[in-house]
Chain A
Amino acid sequence: MGEGQYNVKSSLFDDLNKIDNTIVGYVQKGDEKEYKKSLAKLIGTIKREGKKIDDRELVESDIIVPPGDMTLNEARDVFKGTGIFQG
């Protein structure tokens, strides 16, 4: 999010989905610390395993990753579709 595009192997999708689901759980519970940890893990995995796409390429992404400094409240907004992240 706001940091360019990455190419990720499809074999990694399951892992990413799992982390994504844990994030959802922590957001519902309101566990800020664990939520932040999971979000950092999600972004870290993509940056570590993925390959950065050249800025000169104009391609659409399959998934959009939220920014690493997104707060728990902002994440709640994402689920509610309100605030800055409103469509």
Chain B
Amino acid sequence: MKRVKERTNMGLLNRMGTIIKAKMSKIIGAAEDPRETLDYSYEKQLELLQNVKRGVAEVTTSKKRLQLQKEKLLLNSQKLDSQARDAVRANREDLARLALERKNAITSQITGLDQEIATLETEQAKLVAAEQRLSTKVEVFRTKKETIKAQYSAAEAQVRISESVSGISEEMADIGTSIERAESKTDEMKARSAALDELIEQGTLVDITRSGDDIERELAKVSQKSTVDSELARLIAEERK
């Protein structure tokens, strides 16, 4: 019973600490010679730095993709708007209503995309800052590592090594978590944007394109009819002269 209580009393900060420390110990690993730990840790740092760079690129790509989709949707929306105007001019309120309904559906999709683009922008800025911070730390670590290796025996090096390795491993665990979160966010958005793409291509986005064609066809009919009507009227007028 007591254990349960202690666990529920554990704050968020404590839990975060435990999680990051667990990740750290995975990063640090264990080597016979503490000086090997230095090289091993350095290798891991370079790996992580590559991961961060890849993460930044991925977020940037996702963002660009969403921005493109947004542009496409904006075009669709403008088209529907002008179709609605045409319909009103042709006294076809029903068609105008249809076009405006579809335009509204698109507008809400665009709002959703705007939010996602903003999220990715924040994520991008965060990862870029993390990349800079990490690369500074990695550089500091590299210098320290060489100094320690040159000046100390394995036994003496122990303390200094554990200090700097812990410091950077914590940063690595922290940034590692940030990347994982960014990745899961971009994955989510990729899936959604792929679905959106399919909808845009199939033209079944709330039946926009298909019915858009309907609207176009109807409008074409209307304008054809009016052309025929006016031509007919002209002919009748001419013949009866």
Chain A residues in contact with chain B, CB under 8 A? 1-5, 16-17, 20-21, 23-24, 27-28, 55-61, 63-67, 69, 75, 78-79, 81, 84-87
Contacts and interface: CB of A to CB of B under 8 A. Distances in A.
A61 B170 contact: yes
Interface centre among A28, A56, A60, A75 (most CB of B within 10 A): A60
Interface in B89-138: 122, 126, 129-130, 132-133, 136-137
Interface in B1-48: 8, 10-23
A79 B168 CA distance: 25
Contacts of A75: 12
Interface residues of B, number: 40
Contacts of B132: 55
B178 A58 contact: no
B175 interface: yes
Main secondary structure of the interface of A (DSSP, over half): loop
A8 to B, nearest CB: 11
Interface centre among B16, B130, B177, B184 (most CB of A within 10 A): B16
Contacts of B174: 1-2, 64
Main secondary structure of the interface of B (DSSP, over half): helix
Given A23-B11, A24-B12, A66-B12, A2 B137 contact: no
Contacts of A59: 163, 167
Contacts of A5: 171
A55 B12 contact: no
A69 B125 CA distance: 14
Contact of B20 (A3, A57, A58, A64): A64
A53 to B, nearest CB: 10
B136 A86 contact: no
Contacts of B22: 87
B172 to A, nearest CB: 11
B11 A86 contact: no
A84 B140 contact: no
Interface of B: 8, 10-23, 122, 126, 129-130, 132-133, 136-137, 140-141, 144, 163-164, 166-168, 170-171, 174-175, 177-178, 180-181, 184
8 contacts: A23-B12, A60-B170, A63-B14, A64-B170, A65-B16, A75-B12, A87-B18, A87-B22
Contacts of A1: 16, 174, 177-178
Contact of B140 (A21, A58, A69): A58
B131 to A, nearest CB: 11
Contacts of A28: 8
A29 to B, nearest CB: 13
A68 to B, nearest CB: 10
A20 B167 contact: no
Given A4-B133, A55-B133, 6 more contacts: A1-B174, A20-B14, A23-B11, A63-B13, A64-B19, A79-B10
Nearest to A28: B8
